Amino acid sequence: MKRNIVAIILAVICTLPAACGGRGVGETCAQMQVVYRDNPAFFLRDMTIVWEEKTYYQCAMPGAGRGREIGYATDEYGGWQVYEVVGQGHDVLMAVEQQSGACRIFSLQLPEKPWRQYILENATAEHRLGRLLSVTLDGEGGATLAIPPISSTAPVGEYSYCFEGGELLIFQDKKEVLARFTVHDEHTIVFAAAGMPLFADVGARYVRSGIGAGE
């Protein structure tokens, strides 16, 4: 019986997140919380990290260098080891998923709001995985298309846009028209055509969300 108890204790210790292995004597390993929220404009949920009543939002930081390991977080998919980003202190964190090695960067700064974002009207759970969910436009002429994960022919390159003749035109690499949307009114665009499969239905309505800075 005693052997079984000892074995259980050892098993629990061994299954704790393998984080903070490089910490010095007396240094503590911070436990953080992963929070997911549904994102109507994307098939994946938004992920944030909460640490000491501070919320860190996912952001882009190309070339970020991994600093010292400071903590860990767990979710229903497994665990994340959390590091500082070199030169950023605790303002920016790098989370590495233990199972897959996937790396994400998080910042205390709220993500910038898009200039305009149009979301598929009345999208169902099935639509979230099988249809173009949203069209996001920034104020500098860049566009983002939330193409579903089932697509194996997602276009490669940068997207841009313009409004012309009652249409919203999405370009690939600023030259080839990738998609056309009819501008129905100030808040609604309707999918018309695409130069390649985007998993959008002709006539599907995309409605302006309430989070854009251009509202």
Quick one: 93 and 136 in the same domain? no
Q: What is the pLDDT of residues 81-124, one digit of tens each?
A: 999 999 999 999 999 999 899 999 999 999 888 899 999 999 99
90 burial level (CB within 10 Å; 0-12, 13-18, 19+): middle
Of 107, 124, 147, the residue at which a domain comes to its end is 107
Q: Which of 143, 118, 114 is nearest to 209 (CA)?
A: 118
How many structural domains is the chain composed of?
Answer: 2
Q: Pick the range with the lowest mean pLDDT from 64-78, 86-100, 144-158, 197-211.
A: 144-158
Q: What is the DSSP string of 46-71?
A: EEEEEETTEEEEEE--TTPPEEEEEE
Q: If pLDDT is split at 50, 70 and 90, which confidence band does 174 have?
A: confident
Quote the tokens at residue 2.
Answer: 């005693």
Q: What is the mean pLDDT of residues 161-172?
A: 95
User: Which of 88, 107, 126 represents a domain boundary (last residue)?
Assistant: 107
Query: 14 in a domain, yes or no?
Result: no
Does residue 147 share a domain with residue 94? no
Q: 13: pLDDT confidence band, cut at 50, 70 and 90?
A: very low
Residues 102, 122 within the same domain: no
Say yes or no to pLDDT of 202 above 90.
Answer: yes
**Which pLDDT band holds residue 18 (cuts at 50, 70, 90)?**
low
The reported pLDDT for the residue numbered 177 is 92
Residue in 71, 88, 92, 81 with CA at minimum distance from that of residue 28: 71
How sure is the predictor about 158, in pLDDT bands with cuts at 50, 70 and 90?
Answer: confident
Residue 202, domain member (yes or no): yes
For residue 192, which of 200, 180, 183, 184 has the smallest C-alpha distance? 180
124 and 84 assigned to the same domain:
no
pTM, two decimals, is: 0.74
Residues 78 and 158 both lie in one domain: no
Q: How confident is the model at residue 150 (pLDDT cuts 50, 70, 90)?
A: confident
**Mean pLDDT over each residue of the chain, to the nearest integer:** 85
Summarised one tens digit per residue, pLDDT across range 19-66 is: 576 555 446 789 999 999 999 999 889 999 999 999 999 998 989 999
- At which of 45, 75, 107 does a domain end? 107
pLDDT in the model for residue 26: 46
Please indicate, yes or no, whether residues 96 and 126 belong to a single structural domain of this protein: no
Q: What confidence score (pLDDT) does residue 175 get?
A: 81
Helix (H, G, I), strand (E, B) or coil at 128: helix
pLDDT band at 151 (very low <50, low <70, confident <90, very high): low
Query: Residue 197 belongs to what domain range?
Result: 116-208
Residue 171 lies in a domain: yes
